[in-house]
Amino acid sequence: MKAFWDRVANRLDKIDPVRVRGYFHDLCRESSLLWSVFQSVSEAIFVIDREGRIVFLNEAARETLGISRRNPLSKPLLAYIADHRLFELLEKGLREQNRVIDQEIETRHPKQRVLKVNMLPYKLDEGGDFGTILILRDVTAEKHRQAESFQSEKLDALATLAAGVAHEIGNPLNSLALHMQLMEREIQHLSKKSRQNLMETLEVAKGEINRLDEIVRRFLGAIRPHQPDYKEANINTIVESVLDFMYFEVSGQDIAIEKQYDSRIPLVMMDEAEMKQAFFNIIKNAIQAMPRGGVLRVSTGLRGSRVEVSFSDNGVGIPKDKLRRVFDPYYTTKEGGSGLGLMIVHKIIKDHAGAVELTSEEGEGTTVTVALPLHGKETRLLKDTSGAPGQKK
C-alpha cells in the first residue's frame, strides 16, 4: 500500500484532479480506519522518535500513564514514567534503539500492576531516521487468573493424594480401635490396680486415635469438592458469634477487640457453618500473631456490589518474601503450624465466589479482607436496631 501512494505522489502533477480527489478521499478513509483501530485496542501504543519524544499515542496509552489531552505530544516519554523499574527499562530501550524488548515487569506507581512491555525499532521516514514503537499491556488480571488456576490445580492434586493417604491411614486406625476394644474387655479380668493403670494408658491411646481420625476427616472436608448450603445470613451476626465463641481465648491473650459493623449491609447468601470456619481461622491466626497481646480490629462494610469483612491485627506481621505463599497448602510462618488454616479460608471464600486479600508489614501487623458478592438484584437491608451488633465494645 505504501508503494502505491509513493507512485501517486511522484506522478501527482500528471494525474487528473478528479482522480486526485478520489485518492485523497481513499487516503482519509484509510487513515480514519487506522485511527479508530488504534483508539479501540486495549493495549497502550506509543510511537517515539529518536530523541525519546512522543510522536503518537492512543487513548489507552493516555490512561495507562495518566497523560492529559492537554499535554503536548512533543514531551519526552520518560517525563511521564513514575515507577523507577519501568523508567529504567524504557530508558535502556530508548538508549539501545536497535534492540527488541519483550518483558513483563511489576510496577507500583501510579498503581500496583503487571505490565507486558514490548519495544521495537521503527523507521519513521525515508531519510533513515529510526524511532521506537512501545506497547504496554496490563496483564495483572491474567496473572491473577493464572495464579487461581494454579492454586486450584494444586488443591485438586492434593485432594487426590489426601484421599489415598486417608484411606491408608483409615484402615489401620479402624484396626487399632477394634483391638483397643478387645483389650478393654480383657482388662476387665485383671486386678483392680492393674486394670486402673492399663485403663489410663488405654484411654490415652484411644484419645490419640480419635484425634488422628478427626484430623483426617477435617482435612478431607477442607479440600474435597463441596457444594455450600446457601441461605440468607446476617454477616454482622456471624462475625459476632465467632468472636463470642473465641472470647475466652482472646481475653486470655490480653488482646483487645475493636468492632465496627455497618448496619446497612444486606443479607448475604452463604453457607453459615463454612463462613464461621473461615472467620475462625482468620481470627485464630491474628491471635497467634500477637503473643504479647495487642488489638484486633474487625469491621464490615459495603464496597460496590460486594460486602467486605476486615480483620486487622498489630502483631508480628509477615515478611514480604513469604506473602505470596501464605495460601499454599502446608506453608506456614508459625512454629508448629499446620499450614492449612489460610488454605481452608481461601477455598471457602472461593466457593462463595468471593476473594481474600492479605496485606502485611513485618513488625507492624496483618490485615485480611474477605469480599463476598451480593447475589441477586434485590437485597433486603438489615434493620438498624439498638440491640444489633454495630457498636464498638
Q: Show the cell assigned to 52.
A: 525519546
390 belongs to a structural domain: no
Residues 260 and 158 in one domain: no
Pairing of strands 306-313, 294-303: antiparallel
Helix axes 341-351, 140-187, angle to 10 degrees: 120
DSSP 295-330: EEEEEEEEETTEEEEEEEE-SS---GGGGGGTTSTT
Residues 268 and 303 in one domain: yes
Which sign does the torsion angle of CA 384, 312, 243, 392 carry?
Answer: negative
Instruction: Choose the final residue of a domain: 182, 201, 223.
Output: 223
Q: Show the cell assigned to 319.
A: 515478611
CATH code for the domain of 321: 3.30.565.10
Count of the separate structural domains present in the chain: 4
Q: Where are the beta strands (DSSP E) in 1-93?
A: 44-48, 54-57
d(CA 110, CA 117): 16
d(CA 213, CA 203): 15
Alpha-helical (H) ranges within 224-356 are 235-245, 247-252, 272-288, 341-351
Residues 367 and 282 in one domain: yes
Residues 242 and 190 in one domain: no
- pLDDT, residue 380, reads 41
Residues 127 and 73 in one domain: yes
d(CA 67, CA 110): 12
392 belongs to a structural domain: no
Residue closest to 31 by CA, chosen among 5, 63, 53, 52:
5
- pLDDT, residue 372, reads 93
386 belongs to a structural domain: no
Helix (H) or strand (E) holding 205: helix 192-223
Give me the tens of pLDDT residue by residue for the chain, a chain 393 residues long: 555 555 556 666 666 666 666 656 666 676 677 777 777 888 999 988 888 899 888 888 888 888 887 776 778 999 888 888 889 888 888 888 777 888 888 888 777 888 999 988 887 666 667 788 899 999 888 877 777 766 666 666 666 666 666 656 766 777 787 778 888 888 887 887 778 878 888 887 887 787 777 767 766 665 565 566 789 999 999 999 999 888 888 877 889 999 999 999 999 999 998 899 899 989 988 998 898 889 999 999 998 889 999 999 999 888 877 766 676 655 455 554 445 678 788 888 888 889 888 888 888 999 999 999 986 433 444 444 334 444 433
Query: Is the pTM of the predicted complex or chain greater than 0.85?
Result: no
Query: Which DSSP state fits 255?
Result: E
Angle among Cα 102, 107, 108 to the nearest 5 degrees reads 175
Domain that holds residue 336: 231-373
388 belongs to a structural domain: no
Instruction: Choose the final residue of a domain: 138, 166, 197.
Output: 138
